Chain A
């Protein structure tokens, strides 16, 4: 467990939570990223600009960190073709299931929504099983 980083994890988690709370306080919405992105891909009049702005904020964040610190690390442990299949399934599954790690995992769970608790438990288990198969049975 030498790769465990509890302090930065807690600080980052509070920032994510703060963002979710502010979004509800100011814009009155759940900070569900897959829903926000889906609205960028299928624009509805008057509902497009704020979505692009939110995505722009997500995209700008690592540059802000990079100004004051080192360039954030992004390393993919699995081959590119698995990353691409993963992207397809993430997009499809998030739309079918009505949310992702942010919408269900953070915002929905914080509302004690039964749907979000069920969704979060389900994708946690399926992700853990997937990684077990890929890393230990297939060795990819």
Chain B
């Protein structure tokens, strides 16, 4: 069941990305380009997602456990440390260069020609490289 639910939930996530055009790097870069022809759409996407998740999490986390698992897996770290900030800063540079983050990269690969695949291959290399760098 948890495999089927993962697929359906991934599909809903992907539909959200397609409907909001967040799989189009041009649209992402137009949001990030505040000195150009600015497109604030991403703020609305994030705001709507945040409000929905904020309300939904409160209802869900009041329950004892999730439907298909024995417990909730919530991150427990609370310290704002160097890896967090350096990682986020590097992530942002990559996001600005490519106009894609990981989720939209996967969804864009289905209909976006070869460039998203090149992006995903590079992303996989970058992810694996993390283990070899001490920060």
Chain A residues within CB distance 8 Å of chain B: 1, 3-6, 8-31, 33-34, 37-38, 41-42, 49-51, 53-66, 71-78, 80, 82-98, 100-102, 104-111, 113-115, 118-120, 122-132, 134-136
Q: Is the CB of B2 within 8 A of A17?
A: no
CB-contact partner of A17 in B7, B15, B44, B53, under 8 A: B53
How far apart are the CA atoms of A38 and B65 in the complex, in Å?
25
Q: Is the CB of A132 within 8 A of B35?
A: yes
In the assembled complex, 15 residue pairs joining A and B whose CB atoms fall closer than 8 Å, in A order, are A1-B37, A1-B39, A9-B45, A9-B48, A12-B19, A21-B53, A29-B72, A37-B102, A55-B10, A74-B115, A76-B99, A78-B97, A119-B85, A127-B96, A135-B33
Q: Is the CB of B100 within 8 A of A33?
A: no
Please classify the interface of chain A as helix (H, G, I), strand (E, B), loop, or mixed, using the class held by over half of its residues: helix
Residues on the A chain within 8 Å of B96, using CB: 86, 126-131, 134
Contacts A60-B7, A91-B127, A100-B101 aside, 14 further interface pairs with beta carbons under 8 A come to A3-B39, A8-B20, A10-B48, A24-B72, A26-B66, A30-B75, A34-B127, A74-B112, A86-B94, A108-B75, A115-B80, A126-B91, A126-B96, A127-B93
CB-contact partner of A109 in B10, B11, B50, B56, under 8 A: B50
Q: Is the CB of B61 within 8 A of A24?
A: yes
Q: Is the CB of B54 within 8 A of A110?
A: yes
Residues on the B chain within 8 Å of A132, using CB: 33-35
The distance from the CB of B132 to the nearest CB of chain A, in whole angstroms, is 10
Q: Is the CB of A88 within 8 A of B74?
A: no
Residues on the B chain within 8 Å of A91, using CB: 94, 102, 122-130
Closest A residue to B25 by beta carbon equals A76
The distance from the CB of B70 to the nearest CB of chain A, in whole angstroms, is 8
